[in-house]
Amino acid sequence: MALVSSKEMLIKAYQGGYAVGAFNVNNMELIQGIVTACKEEKAPLILQVSNGAKKYAGPVYLRKLVEAAIEESGLDICLHLDHGSSYEDCVSAIKDGFTSVMIDASHHSFNENILITSEVVKYAKDHGVTVEAELGRLAGIEDDINVSLADSSFTDPSQVEEFVAKTGVDSLAIAIGTSHGAFKFKGEPKLRFDILEDIQRRLPNFPIVLHGASSVLPKYVDIITEHGGAISGAKGVPEEMLRQAARMAVCKINIDSDLRLAFTAAIRQSIYQNPSHFDPRQYLIKGREIITEVVRHKILHVLGCGGKI
């Protein structure tokens, strides 16, 4: 078993009508909890690292933790850079051993996005690494990503064929109403499935990616609130909408906020219920267990990727 690219995973997902979970990781407990669920449910796995995670834990530590997970679990795992903001970011990740990178040049003009993405693709292909890019801009805040609602934009389906043809990317992240962070909707949640359908028609058999796709499960929001947290108003993407997208062209669904919320909920509850505990292992093990619970739920009820390896 080894670090692998995402290319074959996503092709199989498209053909099978399911999505691969791309889970953001920052530490050992998150990796262990995610990998345990994927091993038990025989699910393909992408572990992704943002620039914020790289700053927090260091790329070498994270890569070594993922390599340890591969050795212990026997799984093939794709190690993906989430939201690389420049050519230099992506090259650095590839040199650090990442097997997949995202270049997010969506804040540039369409032509500049093509130029930057093409440069990344050329370097990545020479090193056997797959590339994801983005068209359209998601609103919300996550690590270094901060896009206001006013600056966000849906993906224009009329641009996707030209973009993919000129860049040679392996997958494309689109904006259809999801957003980063835990506060995704103020009113009724809505995704633009008409845009997804149009893109799917224009790019047959091409893997599409959804960012900002956590569901912000009320169960964990309630636990946080009951134990001293203050995140009222948090609202995510309904899971039935994500499952519908996974049956279509969406082959990779990013999940970060749901992990953060569950992990925090478990730790807050553990410390509150056991005020004498001061050994981090006593509450971090609760966090690890709840991550396995969340990921198993996503595999079985959202992604549809259980039993696919």
Catalytic-labelled residue, pool 82, 143, 170, 256: 82
Cβ proximity of 171 and 6 under 8 Å: yes
Closest by Cα among 251, 150, 265 to 210:
251
What's phi and psi for 84, nearest 5 deg? -65, 125
Helix (H, G, I), strand (E, B) or coil at 306: coil
DSSP 49: E
Closest by Cα among 91, 130, 46 to 298:
46
- DSSP track, 226-242: HTT---TT-B---HHHH
Active site residue 143: no
What's phi and psi for 230, nearest 5 deg? -140, 80
DSSP 299: I
Residues 6+ apart with CB under 8 A from 280: none
Cβ proximity of 272 and 228 under 8 Å: yes
Which two structure tokens, joined as six digits, stand for 31? 């990796």
Report, in angstroms and rounded to the nearest whole number, the Rg of the chain calculated over CA atoms: 18
Helix (H, G, I), strand (E, B) or coil at 183: strand
Cβ proximity of 278 and 48 under 8 Å: no
Cβ proximity of 207 and 170 under 8 Å: yes
Q: Which residues are catalytic?
A: 82
